Amino acid sequence: MSSNTPSSSAGGVGSADAAAPRRNSKRPKYSKFTQQELPACKPILTPRWVISAFLLVSIVFIPIGVVSLFASRDVVEIIDRYETACVPQNFSNDKVSFIQSAVDKTCNRTLTVKKLMKQPIYVYYQLDNFYQNHRRYVKSRSDSQLKDNSSWNDVSSCKPEDMSNDQPIVPCGLIAWSLFNDTYNFSLNNQQLAVNKKDISWKSDRDKKFGKDVFPKNFQNGTLIGGNRLDPSVPLSEQEDLIVWMRTAALPTFRKLYGKIERDLQPNEVIQVTLLNNYNTYSFNGKKKLVLSTTSWLGGKNDFLGIAYLTVGGLCFFLALSFTVVYLVKPRQLGDPSYLSWNRNPAGH
């Protein structure tokens, strides 16, 4: 379309001695585009449009809200906060020294199932006040190193956790270094409840981002030990805890998938949890929670989406209603010229 517009503006005025043949060339070419006469739809907000638009929104939104709310209500969640309870009495005033000491960190918790939980039941750990989104933290990783064995010494972005004993660390960086290392063991009626730790990470991460030929090397070998150690014989693509951990959370409060329990839990069943409370959240007063949750098609338990949909839908319904009332009570005939400024206010201007 724009090729129709000759660039007559360029030379135009400079050459005043326009000869006769040039005259015609200065004549703008007619096209609907250049004359700004392209066919256009000019929708205007007539009352019918307004009311039906608002109504449409409410008609769409309220069912969505209801469905979401139901979906969210279907999800059963058991949350157990354990970071305080799992500190022995004698350390209760100095939890940091407890976590840094070599004391046995085993801790037993019991969870009661309130409602039927259909499998799969997802096990999460939830940390709080943990800035996984801190700029220094987020940047401290090397994607190329994780992906490919050949670039194992590409650690420039991983400072300060790049080298240890003058050898590159695989996987390098603060994120990997601070890998979460609490472990959970579940038993139901003294019977071990299997936790499936396969397929808890994103498939593409396993397949493409974490190399099958990349093995942990020189990891947690420095003077400062951060979090969990990794089995050097297992390739990174199978270290799913690491893969999950490396997807940094957006907010300082976050849950991460620990594993799946692949059997239904009946109401009033009591689950025994034996956990190793290794991870230091005490320095920064972070909470630790163990979460067992089912999911719906919409994900986990979150009533907010449904409520928000209902609110917006309700609001639109209200607006539709009030505009209807207004048009019924005090209709303004559309295109009524008496509303033109010169008619409304003859003394004006």
Partner 1 sequence: MARGRIRARLRRSHLYTFSCLRPSAAEEGPHSIEGPGYSRIVHCNQPLMHNKKPFKYRSNYISTTKYNFVTFLPKALYEQFHRVANLYFLGTAIISVTPLSPFSAVSMIAPLAFVVGLSMAKEALEDWRRFMQDMKVNTRKVKVHKEDGIFGNKTWQKVQVGDVVKVEKDQFFPADLLLLSSSYEDGICYVETMNLDGETNLKVKRALEVTLSLDEDEAFKNFTGTITCEDPNPSLYTFVGNFEYDRQVYALDPSQILLRDSKLRNTTFVYGIAIFAGHDSKVMQNATKSPSKRSRIERKMDYIIYVLFSLLLMISLISSIGFAVKTKFYMPDWWYLQPQHTDDYYNPEKPVLSGVSHLVTALVLYGYLIPISLYVSIEVVKVLQASFINQDIQMYDEETGNPAQARTSNLNEELGQVDTILSDKTGTLTCNQMDFLKCSIAGTAYGVCSSEVELAAAQQMAIDLEDQDAERSTGSRQKGKQQEIELETVVTSRDEKDHKSPIKGFSFEDSRIMKGNWLREPNADVIMLFFRILAICHTAIPELNEETGSYTYEAESPDEGAFLVAAREFGFEFFKRTQSGVFVRERYSVAGQPIDREFKILNMLEFTSKRKRMTVIVRDEDGQILLLCKGADSIIFDRLSKNGRLYEEDTNKHLNEYGEAGLRTLALAYRKLEESEYSAWNNEFQKAKTSIGADRETLLENVAEMMERDLILIGATAVEDKLQKGVPQCIDKLAQAGLKIWVLTGDKMETAINIGYACSLLRQGMKQICITANSSDAKETLSLFVTVQVVKENILMQITNASQMIKLENDPHAAFALIIDGKTLAYALEDDMKQQFLGLAVDCASVICCRVSPKQKALVTRLVKEGTGKTTLAIGDGANDVGMIQEADIGVGISGVEGMQAVMASDFSVAQFRFLERLLVVHGHWCYKRIAQMVCYFFYKNIAFGLTLFYFEAFTGFSGQSVYDDWYMLLFNVVLTSLPVISLGVFEQDVSSEVCLQFPALYQQGPRNLFFDWYRILGWMGNGLYSSLIIFFLNIIIFYDQAFRSGGQTADMAALGTTMFTCIIWALNCQIALTMSHFTWIQHLFIWGSIGTWYLFLFVYGMLSPTISGNAYQILVEALAPAPIYWSATLLVTVACNLPYMAHICFQRCFHPMDHHIIQEIKYYKKDVEDQRMWSRERSKARQKTKIGFTARVDAKIRQLRGKLQRKHTSLEMHSPVTPS
Near partner 1 in 140-179, by CB under 8 A: 143-144, 147, 160-161, 174, 177-178
Q: Name which position in 81, 115, 197, 209 contacts partner 1 (CB under 8 A).
A: 209
**270/332 with CB nearer partner 1:** 332
**276/298 with CB nearer partner 1:** 298
Q: Which stretch binds partner 1 (CB under 8 A): 111-119, 234-242, 265-273, 280-288?
A: 280-288
Query: What does the radius of gyration of the chain's CA atoms come to, in whole angstroms?
Result: 33
H/E stretch holding 316 reads: helix 304-329
Q: How far is the CB of 191 from partner 1 (least distance, A)?
A: 23
203 binds partner 1 (CB under 8 A): yes
283 contacts 96 by C-beta, under 8 angstroms: yes
Q: Which stretch binds partner 1 (CB under 8 A): 83-91, 105-113, 264-272, 309-317?
A: 309-317
Mapping DSSP to helix (H, G, I), strand (E, B) and coil, where does residue 290 land?
Answer: strand
Q: Name which position in 149, 185, 248, 272 contacts partner 1 (CB under 8 A).
A: 248
135 binds partner 1 (CB under 8 A): yes
Q: Name which position in 48, 114, 136, 229 contacts partner 1 (CB under 8 A).
A: 136
Q: How far apart are CA 252 and CA 148, in angstroms?
A: 30
Q: Which stretch binds partner 1 (CB under 8 A): 83-91, 108-116, 136-144, 268-276?
A: 136-144
12 binds partner 1 (CB under 8 A): yes
Residues numbered 82 to 101 that lie near partner 1 (CB under 8 A) are: none
Residues numbered 13 to 32 that lie near partner 1 (CB under 8 A) are: 13-14, 16, 18, 22-24, 26-30
Q: DSSP state, 185? A: E
329's CB contacts (< 8 A; 6+ apart) are none
46 binds partner 1 (CB under 8 A): yes
Q: How many residues bind partner 1 (CB under 8 A)?
A: 116
Q: How far apart are CA 194 and CA 191, in angstroms?
A: 9
**Helix segments in 156-210, DSSP class H:** 174-177, 203-204
Residues numbered 215 to 234 that lie near partner 1 (CB under 8 A) are: 224, 226-227
Going from the C-alpha of 317 to that of each of 7, 58, 59, 67, 304, the distances in angstroms are 52, 5, 8, 18, 19
Q: Which stretch binds partner 1 (CB under 8 A): 104-112, 189-197, 213-221, 246-254?
A: 246-254
Four-CA torsion 53, 54, 59, 60, nearest 10 degrees: 70
175 exposure class (CB count in 10 Å sphere: 0-12, 13-18, 19+)? buried
Angle at which helices 304-329 and 47-74 cross, to 10°: 160
Q: Name which position in 38, 116, 234, 270 contacts partner 1 (CB under 8 A).
A: 38
Whether the CA torsion 130, 135, 136, 139 is positive or negative: it is: positive
Q: How far is the CB of 190 from partner 1 (least distance, A)?
A: 27
Residues numbered 55 to 84 that lie near partner 1 (CB under 8 A) are: 57, 61, 64, 68, 75
252 binds partner 1 (CB under 8 A): yes
